[in-house]
Amino acid sequence: MTYCVGMVLDRGLVFMSDTRTNAGLDNISTFKKLTTWESPGDRVITLLSAGNLATTQSVISLLDERSKSPGDRTPSLLGVPSLFQAARMVADTLREVIERTGDSGQRADGTFNATIMLGGQIAGSPPRLFLIYPEGNFIEAGDDTPFFQMGETKYGRPILVRAFDPDLSFEAAMKLLLVSFDSTLKANLTVGAPFDFHIYETDSLTIGQTGRIEADSPWFEAVSKGWGEALKSALDSLPDVKLSKLQ
């Protein structure tokens, strides 16, 4: 499995993904699932991937090759005029890779599927965030649903639903994400640290803070340990009722 979150804040976009891949519980590895393309001053595009690793690596390689050959920049992620067109291109590439693998050779029903989150900004437009399905269609985040999750979404969702706020600071958003990831990590062995992140500030049009948080980083340990206590205090702060009143 995988766990990835992308969120649209007033001040920019924040992405985080785990790095665990597995082929069965007895075969786990670490792979980067967060990729960023940049053309400083013009665009920044970040892609998070979940699903079959061969599929997602192939998609990224195809996108990457196209964006690196300057004579052939159209169509490429660095050449498209809008993020919507970027999402279409990624969606087409994704469907193409899935179809090519699925049509020939050995069959493995459904296992070639992958889902991709794509977000970023192209000069002249606001930041946007898309969730792309293996079928090649996609949805965009809006005011009502300003964040997307992929993979093992359930354990980490309640805290996101409750505490997400578009005017969160980047620091607060990162804390929120770490708590959401920690909740998932504690319940599903196929989601694992380290976590990759990218923080994109609106209109900077350049890659923002990006990095990797290890399981033994002092900050993650403090968040993980502190959260249990913080939750207990939060529970204590809720109103008590004499149980006899409930009958």
Residue ranges binding a second copy (CB under 8 A)? 154-159, 161-163, 165, 170-172, 174-176, 179, 183, 186-187, 197, 199, 209-211, 213, 217, 219, 222-223, 226-228, 230-241, 243-247
Task: Quote the least distance from Cβ 43 to a second copy, whole Å.
Answer: 22
Cα 244 to Cα 223, 239, 240, 241, distances in angstroms: 37, 15, 12, 8
**By C-beta, is 94 or 223 nearer to a second copy?**
223
Q: What's the token pair of residue 181? A: 């990831």
**Helix 83-103 crosses helix 53-68 at what angle (to 10 degrees)?**
130
Task: Quote the least distance from Cβ 147 to a second copy, whole Å.
Answer: 14
**By C-beta, is 104 or 245 nearer to a second copy?**
245
Q: How far is Cα 156 from Cα 36, in angstroms, rounded to an integer?
A: 24
Residues sharing a CB contact under 8 Å with residue 5, sequence separation 6 or more, in sequence order: 15, 16, 17, 147, 148, 149, 150, 156, 160, 177, 180, 181
Are 214 and 221 contacting, i.e. CB atoms less than 8 angstroms apart?
no
Task: Quote the least distance from Cβ 219 to a second copy, whole Å.
Answer: 4
Task: Quote the least distance from Cβ 151 to a second copy, whole Å.
Answer: 12
Task: Quote the least distance from Cβ 29 to a second copy, whole Å.
Answer: 23
Paired residues of 138 in beta bridges: 132
**By C-beta, is 36 or 210 nearer to a second copy?**
210
**By C-beta, is 16 or 117 nearer to a second copy?**
16
Q: CA 46 from chain center: how many Å?
A: 9
Q: How far is Cα 44 from Cα 37, in angstroms, rounded to an integer?
A: 6
Task: Quote the least distance from Cβ 62 to a second copy, whole Å.
Answer: 29
Q: How far is Cα 82 from Cα 60, in angstroms, rounded to an integer?
A: 19
**By C-beta, is 25 or 243 nearer to a second copy?**
243
Peptide bond into 158 cis (omega under 30): no
**By C-beta, is 48 or 173 nearer to a second copy?**
173
**By C-beta, is 106 or 247 nearer to a second copy?**
247
Task: Quote the least distance from Cβ 172 to a second copy, whole Å.
Answer: 7
Q: How far is Cα 173 from Cα 38, in angstroms, rounded to an integer?
A: 23
